[in-house]
Structures are given as C-alpha cells and as structure tokens.
Amino acid sequence: MILDQDILRVHPEQAMLQAFAAGVRFFQYRNKSGPRRLIWKTAHLLAQTARQVEALFIVNDHADIAMAINADGVHLGQDDLPIEVVRKLIGREKVIGISTHSVEQAVDAERSGADYIGFGPMFSTTTKAIGAVQGIENLKIIRQTITTPIIAIGGINHANAAEVISSGANGVAVISAILSAYDLQQAASEMIRILAKAGTDNPEVRRG
C-alpha cells in the first residue's frame, strides 16, 4: 500500500496502522511535494511503527532517507539513481523496487538486480501522471518475459484487482481505492480479501 502524502486524509501513521489491522504488510511512503526534512521526519516515524508491528516499509525515491532511517528499502523511479548505484549505497539486504512502464524497462530492471518491479499504469488514473495506460495485455507480456516479482499500479480498485492478479501480477500497489475511502480499514480489508481469493485461484502467481 502506498501512503501518498498528497492524498492522505489522516496522518500517515494512522493510515498505516488501520491498513495493518486490515492485513496489509507492505507499505511505501511517497511525498512528491514536501520538503526533504519533513519527508525524513515522517518516514522515520513510519519506519519505527512498521518495525513495531513487523511490517515491511520502504521509502519512495529517496535512497539517502531510506538509509538514514534504516528503512527496509527504497522504491525508485526511472529518473532516480540507477539500481546498481543504490545497491552499493544501501546494501544487499535492503529491498529495491523500481517503476517501469514498458517491457524494455522491466527487462532492464531485472538485469540490474531489482527485487521487484512496479508496472503500470494498469488503468487510467489521476493519482500520478506516469504515461500511457499499459493494460492487462502488456502485463501478461511482462509476466512471460521476466521472473522478478511484479507489483501492478495505476487505477487499481476493488473491481479490477482480481483480474490484475490473475493476469500475472504478484501484488498490487493501491492508493486512492483505499486512501479515499470513507472507512480506510474496511476498504483495505476488502482489498485483502479480494487479493487472497485471486491468489488462491492462481497458485502460479503466488509462487512469484
């Protein structure tokens, strides 16, 4: 789950704890517009909370902040530092993910040693401008091309999440479908139920 500071309606720690109570175990903190000191302060709190509840926590974009707070890893964009450079900075034991928007980028990410790739946007979304919609068919091509775990992103909601999993994604990155819900914990719980059912129906994806 992406804790996007621009969309959150509650404090990110509160959102994390509500989502954790619903079953979410993988969190990314994203703040595209705030000052770096505030990003560090918030990420530090979230990293502490994640350790207490034994959830995985990564920071978006900022490898140095991820290092400073001892986060579990970092998620990179195509314009951030190369994976090889970040690996030298944060070490082998940390998670490195990267956003990809084409087969070529996904293949390059795997060759560079990404622990997972984010692929999308799967569907039309207003959360983030990340290029043309990739869709289910491109996801299937990616799944046939690489073995690295795929986290699909972009316009994923309760109605289409199961199709995304059954088409080859190992997981989904959800933002507005949960953060914009009236009851965040209930929305997260329902998403977990949908994903668990989709995973059970598709054991090949679960092995990824």
- Is 30 labeled as catalytic in the residue annotation? yes
Exposed e or buried b per residue across 4-32, where buried means at least 16 C-beta atoms within 10 angstroms of its C-beta: bbebbeeebeebbbbbbebebebbbbbbe
From the candidates 87, 99, 167, 189, which is the catalytic residue?
99
Chain CA centroid to CA 56, Å: 11
From the candidates 128, 143, 167, 189, which is the catalytic residue?
128
Give the 3-state secondary structure of residue 93: coil
- Is 140 labeled as catalytic in the residue annotation? no
- Is 128 labeled as catalytic in the residue annotation? yes
Q: Which two tokens stand for residue 62?
A: 């900022």
The order of strands in the sheet holding 171-173 is 2-4, 26-30, 56-60, 73-76, 95-100, 116-119, 150-153, 171-173
Which are the catalytic amino acids?
Answer: 30, 99, 128
